[in-house]
Chain A
Amino acid sequence: KQEVTQIPAALSVPEGENLVLNCSFTDSAIYNLQWFRQDPGKGLTSLLLIQSSQREQTSGRLNASLDKSSGRSTLYIAASQPGDSATYLCAVRNYGQNFVFGPGTRLSVLP
């Protein structure tokens, strides 16, 4: 059974810092992995989707990498801003299965 963990659980950084969020999964036979952002009391907004054949995806200041063999993905946020404050979740899909979500990393970017 796929299990997804995210480290750290919470992170507080000053504005302008570059930061890395980590996602680990136990079953490396994944189909794809998706990173989401969730603002308090809201639904999830998709940030990046990485297929199993890809090593990374980029969107603006965000870069997500995937290392299937080690069961890890990282989300890199460049030049963080207060508006980036939110909970970031990764979700992993195995072949023929539904997404399994991690518990999230709660990010605070201080002005």
Chain B
Amino acid sequence: EADIYQTPRYLVIGTGKKITLECSQTMGHDKMYWYQQDPGMELHLIHYSYGVNSTEKGDLSSESTVSRIRTEHFPLTLESARPSHTSQYLCASSEWTDRTVLHFGNGTRLTVT
């Protein structure tokens, strides 16, 4: 079983608050990803990283930001949460080579009131 952890599992927060969603993996994977998924809808890539100090924006425009200071850690930050940010956020990781499996965490379900 993949060792990729996301915290918190659920978060309810008011509009305007700053939040950070945590993602850590213990597999030493170089590549890490953040996906956003609304209920019953497709996954959309919002950020990815190919290693330390590497971050890129994904296909879906997002007001969030990410950082990659350590290999194992890839946090996602929203400076000012809005109701439109209500969604499930999924973190994933994979080895450097594209031939390997993409592993997912259990996700953070965010509700902004």
Main DSSP-derived SS at the B contact region:
loop
Smallest CB-CB separation from B108: which chain A residue? A43
The tally of residues in B whose CB lies under 8 Å from a CB in A reads 24
Q: Is the CB of B101 within 8 A of A93?
A: no
Q: B residues near A, CB below 8 A?
A: 2, 6, 33, 41-43, 45, 48, 58-59, 88, 90, 92, 98-107, 109
Which chain B positions have C-beta within 8 A of A99? 45, 102
Given contacts A42-B106, A43-B107, A44-B90, contact A98 B101 (CB under 8 A): no
Q: Is the CB of B98 within 8 A of A45?
A: no
Smallest CB-CB separation from B90: which chain A residue? A43
Which chain B positions have C-beta within 8 A of A46? 2, 101-104
Query: Is A103 an interface residue, CB under 8 A from the partner?
Result: yes
Q: Is the CB of B42 within 8 A of A34?
A: no
Looking at chain A, what size class is its interface with the partner chain?
Answer: 20 to 34
Which chain B positions have C-beta within 8 A of A49? 100-101
Q: Please name 5 pairs of A and B residues whose Cβ atoms are closer than 8 Å in the assembled complex, sorted by A.
A: A32-B98, A44-B43, A45-B104, A89-B43, A98-B58
